[in-house]
Amino acid sequence: MSLRPRVLITAAALAAAASALPGPAAQAAGARSPDVAEAAPAPAAAARVSVAGEEKASDAELRYAAAGRARRIVIREPGSTYVKVHFASLRLVPGDRVTVADPAGREVHTYHGDPTVRRIPGDSAHTVHGRPGFAAMSVDGDTAVVTLHAAPRQNAAALTRQGFGARIDSYYRGFDQGEWAAANPGTFSVCGPDARRDVSCYQTSHPTEYARAGAVARQLLKGAGYCTAWRVGNTNRMLTNQHCMESAADLRASEFQFDYQCATCGGNDPRPGTKVSGAELIKLSPLRDLDYALFSVNDFASIQKFGTLYLDAREPVAQERIYIAGHGDVLPKRLSLYEDRDGGGYCKIDTVQSGVNTGYRCDTSGGNSGSPVLAASSHKVIALHHLGGCPNWGTRISRVNAEISGLIDNRPPAPGTARTS
């Protein structure tokens, strides 16, 4: 059957999440130099989660039946960029399963029961959202097909009375580009003409930059907000901004999509990639300080093939070349290598130090929060992007490393070897 929803809530509150926070606790001090600015923009004015969608209420059910082997619900939101289904309850006879898939079957998420009650080995990841039940991982596109796979049950009516079956109480849908622009007014910031391109555009001309971008993922927060996150070091560790993940509850409500990038340059042909859920929030620093969150994910083995990044725990150098990989404008992954401000010159460090930050004019936008800023000389991370304003700003990674070095394995493998951790 087809589902007719009513709007429950929007995600507008995500955009205001950072607005109540005070300005930076520390500003640049001491003698001024051309490379040391007085202060970066106040975080309250520049850092916020990109609003990506909304939640809609539902009262749909999938019940056992005396005839037929599968029953399904089709949730369709024309033009939406994703659909993420929340189950108020899921109770199945052993051996039966529910799947959430796109119509073509490119993405299929499988559950043999409520994973918050008992996780079945081999079942898909899930997220939790502060109320009973769980949300399946999202499916890209505007349609989700929810199917109960079960043999006919002569006692179907009795099973229904006992609470067996699936009940959907809401779902999240992703905004199209027009809705996204309306929900995210202002700049985040593109400094002149937007010089970003699909990562695949640089696979041949800049193979190292292309390869490093593999470790970068799109974060879907609470079903309705987007940021960027990335693997750091050799073990199960990831980094993003704290304003994208303020608590362990935010982590449990987040999913991370690796390899969401176009297969061809400018082709608008993204692949679904690999989606994992958050596991443990290890350490964080608030927006007013360093604005980072260090965490781990479930099903770590599934993302190891995409590579990892390492920290270049030094101070930036004026005019050194940099680049940024991320998911600005909630689009497939793009690389920011050039700044049109200089007529096509490479991105570089413009302000070495401003409080805890370093400044640059590499293009960023909503959804880029949490992106790694990499030094072209080492292809390691020297800043964690978190503020817009032209120049844009990233927390100097030397400051972050001082707090997390004992929690990560930041040792790159020797040439010709590979780590398996």
Mean pLDDT of 203-218: 96
Distance CA 87, CA 223 (A): 13
Residues 201, 318: contact at Cβ < 8 Å? Answer: no
Q: Judge whether 15 lies within some domain.
A: no
Is residue 69 exposed (0-12), middle (13-18) or buried (19+ Cβ within 10 Å)? exposed
Q: Where are the beta strands (DSSP E) in 222-344?
A: 225-231, 238-240, 254-258, 274-285, 292-297, 322-326, 334-336, 338-339
Q: Which residue(s) pair with 275 in the sheet? A: 257
Name the residue with tokens 């009375």: 161
Residue 19: its pLDDT value, please? Answer: 37
CATH code, domain carrying 191? 2.40.10.120
Residue 373: its pLDDT value, please? Answer: 98
Q: Please count the structural domains in the chain.
A: 2
Residue 386: its pLDDT value, please? Answer: 92
Q: Which residue(s) pair with 90 in the sheet? A: 166
Is residue 197 exposed (0-12), middle (13-18) or buried (19+ Cβ within 10 Å)? middle
Answer yes or no: do 393 and 295 share one domain: yes
pLDDT tier for residue 417 given thresholds of 50, 70 and 90 = low
* Separate counts of helices (H) and strands (E) for the chain: 7, 28
Residue 343: its pLDDT value, please? Answer: 55
Q: Judge whether 32 lies within some domain.
A: no
Q: Judge whether 7 lies within some domain.
A: no
Assess whether pLDDT exceeds 80 at residue 63.
Answer: yes
Residue 287: its pLDDT value, please? Answer: 92
Assess whether pLDDT exceeds 70 at residue 31.
Answer: no
Q: Which residue(s) pair with 83 in the sheet? A: 139, 173
Answer yes or no: do 167 and 189 share one domain: no
Answer yes or no: do 158 and 285 share one domain: no
Domain boundary among 151, 174, 197: 174
Residue 418: its pLDDT value, please? Answer: 58
Answer yes or no: do 213 and 249 share one domain: yes
pLDDT tier for residue 43 given thresholds of 50, 70 and 90 = very low
Assess whether pLDDT exceeds 90 at residue 70.
Answer: no
Residue 111: its pLDDT value, please? Answer: 99
pLDDT above 90 as % of the chain: 70
Assess whether pLDDT exceeds 80 at residue 22.
Answer: no
Residue 341: its pLDDT value, please? Answer: 55
378's tokens:
């080492």
Assess whether pLDDT exceeds 60 at residue 25.
Answer: no
Residues 100, 127: contact at Cβ < 8 Å? Answer: no
Answer yes or no: do 206 and 152 share one domain: no
239's tokens:
């980094």
Q: 135-171 pLDDT, tens per residue?
A: 999 999 999 999 999 999 999 999 999 999 999 999 9
CATH code, domain carrying 170? 2.60.120.290
Q: Judge whether 415 lies within some domain.
A: no
Residue 46: its pLDDT value, please? Answer: 54
Answer yes or no: do 62 and 132 share one domain: yes
Distance CA 95, CA 331 (A): 38
Answer yes or no: do 265 and 397 share one domain: yes
Question: Of the given ranges (30-39, 82-91, 95-104, 315-324), which has the lowest mean pLDDT?
Answer: 30-39
Q: Judge whether 5 lies within some domain.
A: no
DSSP string, 96-155: -EEEEE-TTSSSEEEESS-TTT-PPTTPPPEE--SSSSEEEPPEESSEEEEEEE----TT
Q: Judge whether 71 lies within some domain.
A: yes
* CA-closest candidate to residue 373, choices 324, 321, 310, 333: 324
Q: What are phi and psi of 394, to 5 degrees?
A: -135, 145
Domain boundary among 174, 195, 227: 174
Return the higher-pLDDT residue of 22 and 207: 207
Answer yes or no: do 64 and 142 share one domain: yes
Q: Judge whether 295 lies within some domain.
A: yes
122's tokens:
């081999």
Return the higher-pLDDT residue of 187 and 285: 285
Assess whether pLDDT exceeds 50 at residue 390.
Answer: yes
Mean pLDDT of 195-224: 94
Answer yes or no: do 217 and 95 share one domain: no
- Domain boundaries, position 164: 53-174
Assess whether pLDDT exceeds 50 at residue 16.
Answer: no
Mean of per-residue pLDDT scores for the chain: 87
Residue 376: its pLDDT value, please? Answer: 98
Mean pLDDT of 273-293: 97
Q: Judge whether 44 lies within some domain.
A: no
Residues 149, 76: contact at Cβ < 8 Å? Answer: no
Residue 188: its pLDDT value, please? Answer: 58
Q: 241-274 pLDDT, tens per residue?
A: 999 999 999 999 999 999 999 999 988 889 889 9
Domain boundary among 147, 174, 201: 174
Residue 32: its pLDDT value, please? Answer: 29
* CA-closest candidate to residue 316, choices 233, 397, 371, 370: 397
Answer yes or no: do 323 and 230 share one domain: yes
Answer yes or no: do 199 and 331 share one domain: yes
Residues 171, 188: contact at Cβ < 8 Å? Answer: no
Answer yes or no: do 137 and 209 share one domain: no
Q: 163-202 pLDDT, tens per residue?
A: 999 999 999 999 998 898 888 876 557 777 677 888 999 9
